[in-house]
Amino acid sequence: MQFLAALLLSALATNPGAWSQGPVMPSARSEVGVASVGNTMYVIGGFAANPGDEARVDAYDAITRRWRTLAPLPHGVNHPGTLGFGGKVYVIGGYAPGPSADAFAYDLAANVWKTIAPMPTARGALGLAEAGGKLHAIGGNSGGSIAAHEVYDPATNTWSTAAPLPVGRDHLAVVALGGKIYAIGGRLNTPARPVDRTDVYDPATDRWTQGPPMPTARSGVAAAVYRGRIHVIGGEVPRGTFVENEAYDPQANSWTTFAPLPEGRHGTGAAVFGDALYLPAGAPRPGGSQSNALFVFAGVPG
């Protein structure tokens, strides 16, 4: 008994934190967009078990722990770039079913989607992050992995071009932290060619630098900033899905391994509310499977 307790304590020390399950989603989906505004997480589009749900938008209130269904997107989309910013939810690009340049903004008060200026380069499986009040659409796939980096200004409803990724890729994590943007992992055209790169963009200089590689090369990941670290979770390769939960600390310039997912996932995103990280939906198997699960991660105190 003492030996088992020692093993458990050792595992917790090596992979800190723990996962639990929250209320299941109203519909099972994968390759969704995930965004958050206030205390609400939005799960957008994706591959659906039920035909027609590709335009579906479900919202989870982290305070009441309840799901509700909102106005659908103007058309179905999977693999979009999504982001909550300035009291709105933005959905940019994706596949509909081919690479799309369409862009939409959700008006929370009116429960309607509005069309905004299309992205210059049609693509899916891109990343989206905000810095300095502008939205950076990075990487993606448009018949092949691309390095495109285009910037949307919500104030003027216009796009501009910024320094491209050092290595073009799709299905990557793109996250903003401390005034910089981090592009992590992804793949080169196919899930059989995942990468472990950490590229760091400085909007002030329009330049990329390279950080330490992610411990496990992965694509199709979810990512969010939690307790000052960028957690990169799940992913896929042709043989299966990942349970990995690895976090990059820009201050220490190093990676730490945290408690793995209860089961492998790819094709989803993550959001943080209070002291918990939420990961909804996604695919438990490579390709087009779906889930309606909601996993919740809580780190250890300190």
DSSP string covering the chain: -HHHHHHHHHHHHHS--EEEE-PPPSS-EES-EEEEETTEEEEE--EESSTTGGG-EEEEETTTTEEEE-PPPSS--BS-EEEEETTEEEEE--BSSSB---EEEEETTTTEEEEEPPPSS--BS-EEEEETTEEEEE--BSSSB---EEEEETTTTEEEE-PPPSS--BS-EEEEETTEEEEE--EESEEEEE---EEEEETTTTEEEEEPPPSS--BS-EEEEETTEEEEE--EETTEE---EEEEETTTTEEEE-PPPSS--BS---EEETTEEEEE--BSSSSS--B--EEEEEPPP-
Q: Which domains does the chain have, with CATH numbers?
A: 2-298 (2.120.10.80)
Answer whether residue 121 shows pLDDT above 80.
Answer: yes
135, 92 Cβ separation under 8 angstroms: yes
User: Which residue in 140, 244, 237 sits closest to 193, CA to CA?
Assistant: 237
Instruction: Decide: pTM greater than 0.85.
Output: yes
**CA gyration radius for the chain?**
18
Q: In the predicted model, what is the mean pLDDT of residues 42-56?
A: 90
Overall size of the chain counted in residues: 302
Answer whether residue 89 shows pLDDT above 70.
Answer: yes
- The pLDDT, as a whole number, for residue 151 is 98
Q: What whole-number percentage of the chain has pLDDT above 70?
A: 95
- The pLDDT, as a whole number, for residue 14 is 72
- The pLDDT, as a whole number, for residue 37 is 97
Mean pLDDT of the chain: 94
Q: In the predicted model, what is the mean pLDDT of residues 91-110?
A: 96
- The pLDDT, as a whole number, for residue 9 is 39
> In which band, very low, low, confident or very high, does the pLDDT at 10 lie, cut at 50, 70 and 90?
very low
Q: Please give the Cα distance from 35 to 200 (Å, whole number).
A: 22
> In which band, very low, low, confident or very high, does the pLDDT at 52 lie, cut at 50, 70 and 90?
confident
More confident residue, 210 or 15: 210
> In which band, very low, low, confident or very high, does the pLDDT at 299 lie, cut at 50, 70 and 90?
confident
Tokens of 213: 């590689």
Answer whether residue 179 shows pLDDT above 70.
Answer: yes
- The pLDDT, as a whole number, for residue 301 is 55
The pLDDT tens digits of the residues spanning 57-78 come to 999 999 999 999 999 999 999 9
